Chain A
Amino acid sequence: MILRLNLVQPCGFNGEHMKRIYLDHASSMPVDPRVFKFAKPYLTKEYGNPSSLYSPGLEAKQAIEESRKKIAEFINAENEKSIIFTSGATESNNLAIRGTALRNLNDGKEVAASAIEHISVLNPMKELQKNGFTFKTIPVDSTGTVDLEKLENLLTKNTTVTSIMYANNEIGTIEPIKEIRKIVHGKGRYLHVDATAAAGFLPIDVQDEGIDLMTLSSNDLYGPRGAGALYVKPGVKIQSIMPGGGQERGLRSGTENVFAIAGMGEAARIAKKEMKEESARLRKIRDKLINGIKKIDEAYLTGHPIQRLPHHASFRFSHIEGESILLNMDMYNIQVATGSACSHKTLEPSHVLLAIGLKHEEAHGSVVLTLGRSNSIEQVPFIVEALRDTVQRLRALSPLVKER
């Protein structure tokens, strides 16, 4: 049965009587109730400072070390010491890039990143560029896959850190990390991988994949916000970017956010245990969603058709604008994301969509749907119909659609 919705006004006003269908897990996730239950005592009971030697402090320290162990197991790190806790992915990316570029200054003043990296990778590199570094951008093809030949040509022995994401949050494309690793280690030095979007959905083994530095985010694993981690392979030369009391082996000063860190470890443990089954379940929903949306007139999948995250569907629609799509979908109580300029503070369309070769007017009509544990395959027909009606309604308003 196909659900038909009222075109003009889908529901009351803000969809409040419709059940929420949240499809923006790439931007924020709920905290798993099991994680919350696990970590809650560290807010109210075990509130000691982990640096203090009395028992509540030791309890807190213990919680951090247990979390470190869980994270190390999650990515198969050499040992627990290689995990540095931070405040989140932005800080991990900054520490990875600035920390290695500055520490290895005498060996070269070049940094490199793919054109589709997160802004928290690109901006630290641009800042280094202002301070005398050379910043090289590695182009991607129309699917968002890093151009390996260009990577090979652009890197030199002076390139101390190259940053390539495991998978992209906006177009879902998974990068060939093993091949990239070979090139980076052959031509430059350290490979930093931002695994924020991929972790929890794809199994990652830092030793097998030869990763030197890797960013993880708690909230992207159904953990609390305010925690992240940076994996630093033993032997990698890195320095602190925020000097202070010397916590986290001197690499990240500041009293630890014990609650969020404990939660992140538990979230990683659960993700490791459930990933295989959950990703297979999400992949089925994603495929049904993509096949449904593809049938909408002038809907084009963005990103890689096969090498893509199991929970990720991204499209662009001709003649309409993404923020309008987002607002209209919210009236059905369905939350989606867009790379349109109008939704950004800069009023520039997403650099990711421009990097894969979309024109500005094409990039404006982008929609990103990222699935999670709350979604089910039964929701797909409703989502597709809501999107179809949204697209139809907005095209009826658009001067770019000429009467046929």
Chain B
Amino acid sequence: MIYIAEFGYSKKVMEHFMNPKNVGVIENPDGYGKVGNPVCGDLMEIFIKVKDDIITDIKFKTFGCGSAIATSSMVTELAKGKHIDEAIKITRSNVADELDGLPPQKMHCSNLAADALHEAIKDYKNKKKK
């Protein structure tokens, strides 16, 4: 399959960019993940609320390009309602595939979004241990 995204963004990327889902912050989250760096042009924060190891609520804030915003939105959609053991298996390629592909040089953005989710889940697990 040839991705149109090799030349520009897919329609789905643009939909998520224009109308991102789950934007915002959660006060006193059960898990918090932050990846990226404004110097590099991408910074993502993900907040999760967890009940019985199920992600009941998830929010994000992102500084970055179109695909950084779209992948953040997509990763929150993919993780919402999932058990944490399932959510941690969400990979960069899952995110990119769900968006009908990303231009090659933008693949690191999808990497970051999945990483931010993984960080939030790890943070939740660490807090639980204590």
Contacts and interface: CB of A to CB of B under 8 A. Distances in A.
Interface stretch (B16-24, B74-82, B118-126): B16-24
Interface in A312-352: 319-321, 323-324, 327-328, 331, 340-343, 345, 347, 349
Contacts of A360: 38-41
Contacts of B38: 360-361, 364, 400
B24 to A, nearest CB: 9
A331 B18 contact: yes
A353 B64 CA distance: 18
Among B20, B23, B62, B65: residue with most chain A CB under 10 A: B65
A397 B46 CA distance: 12
B69 interface: yes
B66 interface: yes
A9 B63 contact: no
B60 to A, nearest CB: 8
Contact of A321 (B14, B61, B63, B106): B63
Contact of B105 (A327, A345, A400): A345
A399 B66 contact: no
Overall SS of chain A's interface: loop
Given A321-B68, A327-B17, A347-B105, A398 B39 contact: no
A359 interface: yes
A13 interface: yes
A370 B114 CA distance: 37
Contact of A324 (B23, B44, B69): B69
Contacts of B41: 321, 340-342, 347, 349, 360-361, 364
Interface string B7-30: 001000010011110010000000
A396 interface: yes
B50 interface: no
A82 B18 CA distance: 52
B115 interface: no
A158 B2 CA distance: 53
B19 A342 contact: no
B47 to A, nearest CB: 10
Contacts of A340: 41, 65
Interface of A: 8-9, 13-14, 319-321, 323-324, 327-328, 331, 340-343, 345, 347, 349, 359-361, 364, 396-400
The 9 closest A-B pairs by CB, nearest first: A342-B65, A399-B61, A323-B65, A361-B38, A360-B39, A364-B41, A399-B45, A398-B63, A327-B66
19 contacts: A8-B19, A13-B14, A321-B41, A321-B63, A321-B64, A324-B17, A327-B9, A342-B41, A342-B42, A342-B66, A342-B67, A342-B106, A343-B65, A361-B41, A396-B23, A397-B23, A398-B62, A399-B44, A400-B63
